[in-house]
Amino acid sequence: MKISFKEFKDEIDTLIEFLTSDIWEFHGTPNPNPEIIRTNYENHLYTGDDYKTFWIILDEDTKVGMIRVYDLQDDSPLFDIRILSKYKGMGFGTSTVNWFVDYIFNNYPDKERIEGTTRQDNYAMRCVFHKCGFVKESHYRKAWTCKDGKIYDAIGYGITKEDWQNEKITPVNWNDFKY
């Protein structure tokens, strides 16, 4: 099983087919609308100065997922990862996030950290963050409202370039303030 990463260019129809082929349970829009995907593409939310999107490819031709970085012009870029349901639990998330962290810190020397957020109940993604050296940095209570009206806690994770370079994890000091 060999995975590789290919930068998304102008494959809008492939992107629409991919994003509408599955249910993205832990995303704000679990069933994306093709017209909104096309509009987002036309507004450069997949490519451009502030965004890059990569396909996650198995054995040279099977698209098993995608990862999109945004806020590349900011100090702390964020990312969105999507793995097709039939490929979940096979290690693609961990491999992809590790690749992505290396990609950002090696290609964007001005970036000092990378951030990601997930719902509290997305245990698989929380495990990926942990395995990839990210530290839990925030816990926002009742901050993630889904289309069906359910509200979840949102959990923020981050990794610093210093920790990545030194292959260490620096925990957050949660008790830095005395009442």
Sheet of 135-145, strands arranged across: 3-7, 51-58, 62-70, 78-83, 113-119, 151-160, 135-145
**pLDDT in single tens digits along all 179 residues of the chain:** 799 999 998 889 999 999 999 999 998 888 899 999 999 999 999 998 899 999 999 998 899 999 999 999 999 999 999 999 999 999 999 999 999 999 999 999 999 999 999 999 999 999 999 999 999 999 999 999 888 889 999 999 999 999 999 999 999 998 888 88
In the chain, where the domains are located: 3-166
Q: Cα(22)–Cα(146) distance, rounded to whole angstroms?
A: 17
Structural fold of domain 3-166: Aminopeptidase (3.40.630)
Structure tokens at 156: 């923020």
pTM: 0.93
Q: In which element (H, E) is residue 157 found?
A: strand 151-160
